[in-house]
Chain A
Amino acid sequence: MMNKVNKKILLGVILFAFYILVHVLINTGIIDSYYELNLVIIGINIILAVSLNLITGFTGQFSLGHAAFMSMGAYTSAILTAKFNQPFILALLLSGVVASVAGILIGIPTLRLKGDYLAIATLGFGEIVRVIAINTDYIGGAIGFNDIPRYTNWTWIFASVLVTILLIKRFLNSYHGRACIAIREDEIAAESMGVNTTYYKVLAFAIGAFFAGTAGSLYANYFYFIKPDSFGFMKSIDILVIVVFGGIGSILGSVIGAISLSIISLFLQGIPELRMVIYSVILFVIMVYRHKGILGKREFKIFKSRKKNRKKVEFNVGAISK
């Protein structure tokens, strides 16, 4: 029991040390702006992948509209910070809320669809958002939105990634999260056990969209400039690739997937003509030899007791607080 608490403290210390280390390296210039840029991209990809995993991996709803939620967050944040000079924390949270509300509105009619049909519907939603953004002059239309203040830095990225993972993990370890997983496993059985499937599908969609929105906000306030085409269909596919690559239904998998795919494409930038070829081959090989993704459904094993039971750990902590 104590062992468990110690491990949590140890994990916290390691994460904090990592944060400080990178922070110092950035400030002393050892990590230059190019590597910092990649750190930011990795962080944003982790948030996107983990939040999409909640929708697709855990709740089993195949969504191709994740980039649209990101784009809504990005534009919300851009408008709030560039046009209204609002503080970044407010823009970040509101970006999530706007994306989340969009998730609910689009989720209620489409989530009665299943599998491929849902994928097509969410794909359509993504295109609608993109086309609306292109045709709205207020946010720059097809030219894009310029002069967004840069607020995103290592601290914001690190904190956002941590909060995203922590909250989604906590959600999944509650009865709400179990209901979502049960829907993926067998919708009819879940319903007959009292799970309101529509409610939980929309809920998972809303939570996933929220974090995608914050990822968009972090993106907009780092790159000074956003345009509708950055959040098109291909961006949704990129996120989905990370999720599938890391392992559908594994949070750690999404994290590792985001990191490794970002690093792979970073290294391949040296050979631009072969970049997409090699990238595709790597994806191909992974899918052939590990079709459940790098981690399958496995979770944070390193930080767990050797016993197989993950719930037990949770509940022992509960017993102490009781």
Chain B
Amino acid sequence: MWVLSVNSLSKNFGGIKAIRNINVNIEKGNIIGLIGPNGAGKTTFFNLLTGIYSPTSGEITYNLDSKIRTKDLKPHKIVHYGIARTFQNIRLFKDMTVLDNILIGFHNRFKYGIGSAFLRLPSYYKAEANAYENALELLEKFNLLDKKDELAKNLPYGDQRKLEIARALAAKPKLLLLDEPAAGMNPIETKELRELINWIREAFDLTIILIEHDMSLVMNICDEVLVFDYGNLVAQGTPEEIQNDERVIKAYLGEEVEEC
């Protein structure tokens, strides 16, 4: 069953064609790797998927709880549809505690109104206590429980990445978009991250799309790899197929020049 279908998607910024005519279907439960040289359009593709940009042409369709079409994609609504993302340059709420960061992840699950907040009606206490417990549970799973009262900006880099993923998972997504989760990590941290991603896929029943430059990570955990180059989808296949694909080698290393 597919969860995401992209049909002839294009995005232009003035004269720059950042994304050109992309067609792809994403199957449920897979981990999809998105690779390509810098400026290939990977993050633009994510921003299109999450409604931050609207496409110049083409159609994005999600098949989650309900069918979601391009025109319904608004950045603040995608979480509601079951899509959550992290960012290339970590975007935590730096001056809020780790716990409060997670609680923002629960935002769209709260229902009580402003009056309830002002008057502290029972619905306030019930919802807040419930979210608090869920947040602690989530933090425990990510080994961040003992740091719950620290400000997010004071966490070490690896923990900040983890917290951002935990925050995204708090929204109970079905599809998780990770933008360079291993950026800036050392090999040991990357290995931990690999285990973490595998684990959250099972534990939270997720479909994951990740942009990554670290080939050891991509080739080890992805079921399928998409290769972008100059806004085009140049190759698609299993990691083994991709590693031997001429177009991919060309995109990364350039063409072989015939000797004179």
**A→B interface (CB under 8 Å):** 167, 170-171, 173-179, 181-182, 185-186, 188-197, 203, 249, 297, 308-309, 311, 314-315, 317-319, 321-322
1/0 per residue, CB under 8 A from A, across B128-150: the answer is 11011000000000000000110
B124 touches A174 (CB 8 A): yes
Which of A167, A171, A181, A197 contacts B93, CB < 8 Å?
A181
Scan residues 79-105 of chain B and give those whose CB is less than 8 A from a CB of chain A. 79-80, 84-85, 87, 91-97, 99-100, 103-105
Q: Determine whether the beta carbon of A178 is less than 8 Å from that of B84.
A: no
Number of A-B pairs whose CB atoms are under 8 Å?
123
Instruction: Give B204 Cβ to nearest chain A Cβ, in Å.
Output: 16
Q: Is the CB of B76 within 8 A of A194?
A: yes
Which of A181, A189, A190, A314 counts the most chain B CB atoms within 10 A? Answer: A189
Complex contacts, B103 vs chain A, CB 8 Å: 175, 178, 311
A interface majority secondary structure: helix
Once the chains bind, are A193 and B79 in contact (CB under 8 Å)?
Answer: yes
- Chain B interface size band reads 35 or more
Inter-chain CA distance A182–B96, complex, in Å, is 8
Residues of the B chain whose Cβ atoms lie less than 8 Å from the Cβ of A193? 79, 84, 104-105, 107-108, 167-168, 171
Residues in B lying within 8 Å of A, measured CB to CB: 50, 52, 75-80, 84-85, 87, 91-97, 99-100, 103-108, 110, 112, 114, 116-118, 120, 122, 124-129, 131-132, 148-149, 167-168, 171
Our pick among B94, B117, B148 for the contact of A170 (Cβ within 8 Å) is B117
Residues in A with CB closer than 8 Å to B126 are 318, 322
| C-alpha spacing A170/B110, complex, angstroms | 16
The 5 closest A-B pairs by CB, nearest first: A174-B117, A194-B79, A318-B125, A185-B93, A194-B108
For A175, the chain B residues whose CB sits under 8 A away are: 103, 106-107, 110, 112, 117, 127-128, 131
12 contacts between A and B (CB under 8 A): A167-B118, A175-B128, A192-B52, A192-B91, A193-B79, A193-B107, A193-B108, A194-B108, A194-B171, A309-B97, A315-B128, A315-B132
Distance in angstroms between the alpha carbons of A177 and B120 in the assembled complex = 13
B128 proximity list for chain A (CB < 8 A): 174-175, 314-315, 318
